[in-house]
Amino acid sequence: MRASPRRPRAPRTPASPSRTSSARTRTSPLSSEVPGSRHADSQQRERRAATTASGLVVVDKPIDWTSHDVVARTRRLAGTRKVGHAGTLDPMATGVLVLGVNRATRLLGHVAGADKEYLATIALGATTVTDDAQGDETSVADASAVTADDVLREIAPLTGAIEQVPSAVSAIKVDGKRAYARVRSGEEVQLKARAVTVETFELTGFEPGERAVAHVRVVCSSGTYVRALARDLGRALGVGGHLTSLRRTRVGGFGLDQARTLDQLAESFDMVGLDDAARAAFPGLDLDEDQARDVRFGRALPAVALPAEGPVAMFAPDGSFLALYEAAGAGARPVAVFV
């Protein structure tokens, strides 16, 4: 599975009753919250009239929040329960979390499959049960002999198309039960290796020492565990390693430059409208009026060549987003129709 090429970033447009944009809705700004300490009065202040607008919200997830925490607060801000996210971020991670509102939730499964970019910090000289700083240490070693050149040498085999064993403390199901639940109950979990693509594994900084620190940038396919890269790098260096910080800087065509904090969204709830979201997330094809009519009815297009593999966004002559299509023989067939 190869990471998809970067696509143009979509501008933010205010949410509204129309399909692609609206006037901003404002509330008084709220102070930062820590999950578990929310009060009913602050929740009540955030509740708004239900929006009928559809679009994507690009959130800069704060540390110690689960992805579900962010979804729950966004539901209050948007005034609708029809909110979901395109790929979980661990509580210790920060950065880009793409949410869908109303009809845009149907895009999320496809957005989740896009390539992702991260900035991460790896501690060398210790392993943990979770492969990150939130787990108990399971081994300790002196990493003072490790150099930046050593790290660069061992990064190379972890780049490209690789087979990666996911972290045992993960949401992957083993015989119907989450792997992390089995680990917490004392079981030993052995997960199977998966094919992933690490397009970029770049050393951006190195701090030598008994517990050396490597700062890295990773661009990878969906399903790649950066925690597992930290674990495998430490193992290859013979000293062990684990992830100490993680910031997601991009999901497909959506980056930190578009992301807003939850407090900013509480002041002004802006969404990327459905048309702009589709252009940013997928390769696009502009149709003529006859083709657009067929697409509105969900018909196959037997003589249309799509510009890329995977889902392609289909646009009417006026620029409005109609559907996602995929290749079928010499033509194309609908994946999801949005009109």
Strand, helix or coil at 53? coil
Phi and psi at residue 310, in whole multiples of 5°? 80, -175
**Where does CATH 3.30.2350.10 sit in the chain?**
116-251
CATH 2.30.130.10 domain span(s) along the chain: 282-337
- Indicate which residues carry an active-site annotation: 90
Contacts of 322 (CB under 8 A, 6+ apart): 287, 292, 295, 296, 314, 315, 316, 337, 338, 339
Q: Model pTM?
A: 0.82
Region of 81 please: left (phi>0), alpha (psi -120 to 50) or beta. alpha
Question: What tens-digit pLDDT sequence spans the chain (339 residues)?
Answer: 344 344 445 444 444 433 333 333 333 333 344 444 443 444 545 555 566 789 999 999 999 999 999 999 999 999 999 999 998 898 999 999 999 999 999 999 999 999 999 999 999 999 998 999 988 999 999 999 999 999 999 999 999 999 999 988 777 777 777 777 777 777 777 888 999 999 999 999 999 999 999 999 999 999 999 999 999 999 999 999 999 999 999 999 999 999 999 999 999 998 999 999 999 999 999 999 999 999 999 999 998 999 999 899 999 999 999 999 999 988 999 999 998
108 to 114, 194, 274: CA distances (angstroms): 10, 22, 12
Query: What CATH number belongs to 116-251?
Result: 3.30.2350.10
* Residues paired with residue 177 on neighbouring β-strands, in sequence order: 174
* Fold of the CATH domain 282-337: 2.30.130
Q: How far is CA 302 from CA 21, 103, 190, 321, in A?
A: 33, 27, 46, 20
